[in-house]
Structure 1
Amino acid sequence: MGKILVTGGVGYIGSHTVVDLIENGYEVISVDNLVNSKESALEGIERITGISIENYEVDLCDLNDLRQVFSEHPDISGVIHFAALKAVGESVEEPVLYFRNNVNGLINLVDCCIESNVKHFIFSSSCTVYGVVENLPCTEDSPIKPAESPYGRTKQISEMIIEDSFRNTDVKAILLRYFNPAGAHKSNLLGENPKKVALNLVPVITETALGLREKTVVFGDQFDTRDGSCVRDYIHVMDLADAHTKALQFLENSPEAKKLDSYNLGIGKGVTVLEAIKAFEKVTGQPLNYEIGPPRPGDVVAIYADHTKATKDLGWNPTRGIEEIMESAWKWANRKN
């Protein structure tokens, strides 16, 4: 098997994917500047797999430093690209930061892949590329509408860059458009552990239950949904990691794989914010202090996936639901704190 470079390999989804890759026989190296991740994830990876991976503390926006990584590893056959800023609210407040980091970093990475004859490229995209979806569940054929946030726009632009840049090369690419990753590794050795203040719903819930924050704010309860709160498709991070490995294997082993293709990754069912809170309370027995707040700029009201295409082509199926997500996240939060 070839050597796989994972950008953002010390981050939340990246570290879980590194574990899955190693368990499937791949040699992995990571590039992660640790701007929103912690080196302790490397220890977790080693304890789970028995293998210590090398992380290069390199910013993708520094082309020379990134080229040096590829120069030291001329046998990289595939790249899985996670490294990006990802907070919707922050992107609304600091759009230029998001364009500079997410788009410039990708351009440099694409440059290096072409220069180094990398064959396979997996991109961590997002359901935000669809904008406001009129018909649910969302399929890969759903129209690409204007993004609701600068973060979503960076994903749209990145998908276009990948399509145009690899068109006349030997690189085959897959865009994985996923929904709301959550949960933790079954070992309790890896989980969501950002340096910045947690903004995603699940860690906000667990931090509230632990007394690390006063309350969880539900951003709006007057939307046209079952209970008035936003609907999201929460996918367990271990199911998500498995999808990245399967996408890579598909490119490696399937001559029929297209030059570029996209796949939705989600459980396939929408869960409202209030339903997610109830699921947490059910599996943990912990009552949660929450209140209703105003809607948040950049948020889409409702979106969830149809993952039929990923099941058909990649042989991927999510195996864990919202209760398993909440249970594993709670165990991780208790161990971490």
Structure 2
Amino acid sequence: PFSRTDATMRRPGIPWRRAEDRLGPEMWQILMRGVGYEGKPFSDFREFADAFVQAAQTAGPPPRESRRKRRQEQRRRAQALAQQARAAARLGQWGRVAELAGHALRLNPKDAEARQWLRRATRVLGGEAPEAAPASRRRATPRRRYAAALLAIVALAAAVGGGIWALTRPHSAAPATAAPTPRPTEVQRPTATATPVIVIAPTDTPRPTVAPTAAEIPTDTPTPPASTPTPTQAPTRTPQPPTLTPTATHALHPAPTLLSPPNEMHFEPQEAIVLRWTDVGPLADDEWYVVRIPHERGEEVGVTRDTQWQVPAYVWLLRPPSGRLFWSVSVRVRASEGIPGNADLWPAAGAESAPRSFVWLAGTRTPTPTPTP
């Protein structure tokens, strides 16, 4: 009887091995049974070849599942042939190595090990010295892949757990000792609230009234020269009408009406400022007009019996950055021990006028001599 090898070798042009690889082992067995190969000898190889080719042409392509199994079988057979080629190379049978590697590449052209063995066998058969056997490359099976993935997950979990432990371990008890430290600072807060207690309110406390003597009554009514009063240490304040009650020997005068300058009038640094107001009626011998100009360093006080008063030139140096100064006029009773610098503490003999303001502009001021009385 004729075998497949005999038919393949004796019928050039008929791709028997290619047909077997394409159809798969199952379809190959079916075709061989269909042409009567099993249990029936052929008298001529042409009889077998013609029947086989006719059956292969009418069989059609195998199903997809069969193709997948066929590819797996081809890869398995190629790996087995590559291992056989390795064993033959150890024995020095390079012709056998070339045959086995070539058949493995026909089954699986992507088999790298079979390609290396075929290349080495070709070189050795061509007269070159044999090289060292290439290391077999182990394919990554699904089991190995699962094991590698499991190891990676375990390593990642260990790294995350170690990081969390390192963050939470040393800092759990440290803040407990530092918590009571801010408490002493809360005890000192009431001391800070005690400082704003306003104790500078001398305007509402009158000094004892002393009846004037005949020696202190002035004999003439000249306007006293503008003296240089010492500013008090009280902060800048807006003049307020006094609430003091005059003595029984003085009648209450109405509040003076401020005439000039108009409210919010601007003056140059070299310009003289004269304040004018209305007459409130005849004044007693011990009654004076008191002009008050508060500023940042205290209060400027002027005393006169006339209805006008010139602002001293040095007040320009005491003005605030905005240059705005407020002024008001009232009638007060001069005490026996009083001096013009303390005229704002004299007992009031009438209501105080509503305050006005003027703006003394900044610039360069040439000092002027102070007039002598």
TM-score bracket for the superposition, by shorter chain length: under 0.3
TM-score, length-scaled by structure 2: 0.21
Question: Under a length normalisation based on structure 1, what TM-score does the superposition of the two structures give?
Answer: 0.22
